[in-house]
Amino acid sequence: MTNTIYFNLDNASYSTSSPDSILSHHQHDHEGSRAASSSFVVAEEINAWIRPPSCSFGKVFKGWIDEYKLTATKPGRGTAVAVKRLHQGSLQGHEEWLAEINYLGKLYHLNLVKLLGYCLDNQERLLVYEFMPEGSLDNHLFWSNSYCQLSWSIRMKIALGAAKALAFLHSAEVNVIHRGCQNSNILLDWNYNAKLSDFGLARDGPTGDNSHVYTSVMGTYGYACPEYIATVLE
C-alpha cells in the first residue's frame, strides 16, 4: 500500500496524511479552488469516460496537470487527468465521494485506477484520477460504432486484469468488497490494461470468523454475486 499525495488545487500545497485526517481539518479557499477547477475543466466534458452510475452525482471532465508539481496546465500540456466534479448544492454522492478517497487513497495495485488527489471546499467536491484513454469496457462492448472492436486476446487480457484487481481486494491483507464490479467500472489504458474504478459502494470485508449481513442489495443485478443476492435480508 502507498499514500496518495493530496493537493490543494489553488496553490498546490501537498500532504501525505491519511484521507480521514485531511478531511477533518483541511479546508480550501473556495474562490481559489473554483478558479483552479476551471483550469482543469476547460477541455471537453467526458461523461462517456465513466458511464452511469459513476456519473449519477456529477460530471467528468478531461484536464491536464504538471505531473511533477501537480498544478493545472494549459490544455494539451503535461499529463492528462480525469476530474470528477460532484453537483454543487446537493448532498447526493457525498458518501460515495468519501469512500473513493478512503479506499483509492490507501490502496495501490496495477489494476486499480489511481486517485491523484481531491478538493473539498465548501460545496466544491472534486476527485482527480489518472486518465484512461481507451475509456470503459462498457463502451467497447455496447458502443461499437464509436470504439474499436476488441479481439479475443484483448478480451482475455482485460478479464485477467479485472480478476487480479478483485483478487487483490479480497486478499487477507486488504479485505475490501467492491460491490460495483461491472463493465462500466473497468477502465482501459492505452495498452488495454484493465483498471477497476468507482469505489463508492465499497466496504470493508468481515474479519476473522465474523460474518457480515447486508440488509439491502447494493450493486447491479447481472453483475453481483448470485449467493450475495440470494442470502441478503429483505
Distance of alpha carbon 89 from alpha carbon 91, whole angstroms: 7
Q: What is the pLDDT of residues 75-121, one digit of tens each?
A: 778 888 888 888 776 666 788 888 889 899 889 999 999 998 888 87
Q: Which CATH superfamily is domain 137-231 in?
A: Transferase(Phosphotransferase) domain 1 (1.10.510.10)
Same fold, 6-130 and 137-231: no
Q: What is the pLDDT of residues 198-227, one digit of tens each?
A: 888 888 887 766 665 555 666 666 677 777
pLDDT score, position 202 = 80
In this predicted structure, the answer to whether residue 15 has a pLDDT above a threshold of 60 is no
Q: Which of 137, 128, 142 is nearest to 159 (CA)?
A: 137
Q: What is the pLDDT of residues 158-178, one digit of tens each?
A: 999 999 999 999 998 898 988
Contact yes or no for 185/197 (Cβ under 8 A): yes
pLDDT score, position 156 = 97
Question: How does DSSP classify residue 54?
Answer: T
CATH for the 6-130 domain, from 3.30.200.20, 3.30.70.330, 3.10.20.740, 1.10.1040.10: 3.30.200.20
Residue spans of the domains in the chain: they are 6-130, 137-231
In this predicted structure, the answer to whether residue 13 has a pLDDT above a threshold of 70 is no
Mean pLDDT of the chain: 72
Q: Is 30 exposed, middle or buried (0-12, 13-18, 19+ CB in 10 A)?
A: middle
Is the omega angle on the peptide bond into residue 53 within 30 degrees of 0, that is, cis?
yes
